[in-house]
Amino acid sequence: MSSIQTQFLDLTAHHTGYDAIDPTLALKGSAAGKVVFITGASRGIGRATAIAFAQAGARAVYLAARSQDALEETRDLVKQANPDTQCAWSVCDVASAEQVKAAVADCAGAFGGIDAADANAGHLGPWTKIGESDPEGWWRSFEVNVRGVYHVIRFTLPFLIESAKRHAADGGSGGHLILLSSIGAQLLMPGASDYQTSKHAINRLCEFVQTDHEDDGIKCFAIHPGGVATDLGLAMPEDIHAYLIDEPGLAACFAVWLCSGRADWARGRYLSANWDVGELAALKDDILRDDLLVNRLRARL
């Protein structure tokens, strides 16, 4: 697991929220007037993200996930965080194009548009060597982690493009799209071929979104949320559990920071919620000059 550290920039590592990304402090009001669409919002990081956007003053938060009871719990927590934030939800399996399309349409119909989308739903099956894997189970990771993310991208983009143009005209920033990736995207761990390859694909998909829709004002990010002891995280092999030390609120606050416009310069890139945002911003010129934090094959003769 020491190879994990080689995937991080040499920055201060955070494991919980801090002032610079606190939605009630530095980011207070940064989501004012905005509508945020979140999948995987019934628990864990998705739930924390919905609450954080409410704390940052979002006009509305729309929740999508497969569990109705858990969605209702998240809705109640959003209202506790900010009674002025409107909240609606729908039961939705991101692997279904029709269900995602319907959820996005319901959100836009209820709240007049979408300013930011967070593709947070994910899947992790048993870690098994490829030669011993179940074909249907192996592919399920791609159905959720790649196809599901694509569905969120595909159906929110028209609304995000409208938001980007509207906010640009007002001198603000809109049209933000966050794709939940993982540090696993850059690792090769025995038995994790489905999960880690699917997350690697998300990073590349983020780059394509930016390439295709840069001129439309879209700002897309693939993020590592930290090592969080969610149901998904705890489904990993036990020797990894010692690395699950990050609070779900860290990634949630990081998502609010990304959607505040402060990181628009880093669009199209893979970022870690663990990285100190002040130190990350100080590397802006180096990152842009050398085209860092993207998937590339570099060869030396």
Average pLDDT, the chain: 92
| Separation in Å, CA 220 to CA 23, 102, 140, 178 | 20, 22, 24, 6
Q: φ and ψ at 69, to 5 degrees?
A: -60, -45
2 pLDDT above the threshold of 90: no
Mean pLDDT of 193-202: 94
Quick check: is 101 catalytic?
Answer: no
Quick check: is 129 catalytic?
Answer: no
- Residue 244: pLDDT band with limits 50, 70, 90: low
Beta strands in the chain (DSSP E): 35-39, 60-65, 86-91, 116-119, 176-180, 219-224, 269-272
Complete domains list, the chain, with CATH: 29-289 (3.40.50.720)
Mean pLDDT of 15-28: 97
Separation of alpha carbons 116 and 50, rounded Å: 12
Q: What is the pLDDT of residue 1?
A: 36
For 181-198, b where at least 16 C-beta lie within 10 A, e where not — what string?
A: bbbbbbbebebbbbbbbb
Q: Residues 55, 281: contact at Cβ < 8 Å?
A: no
Catalytic residue among 34, 62, 150, 199: 199
Mean pLDDT of 34-40: 97
8 pLDDT above the threshold of 70: no
Mean pLDDT of 198-212: 97
Tell me if residue 178 falls in helix, strand or coil: strand
For 141-166, b where at least 16 C-beta lie within 10 A, e where not — what string?
A: bbbbbbbbbbbbbebbbebbbbbbee
User: pLDDT of 133-166, one tens digit each?
Assistant: 999 999 999 999 999 999 999 999 999 999 999 9
Catalytic residue among 34, 195, 219, 270: 195
Q: φ and ψ at 221, to 5 degrees?
A: -135, 140
For the CA atoms of 117, 24, 18, 36, the dihedral, rounded to the nearest 10 degrees, stands at 0
User: pLDDT of 93-113, one tens digit each?
Assistant: 999 999 999 999 999 999 999
- Which tokens hold the place of 119? 């593709």
Q: Which of 300, 198, 280 is nearest to 12 (CA)?
A: 280
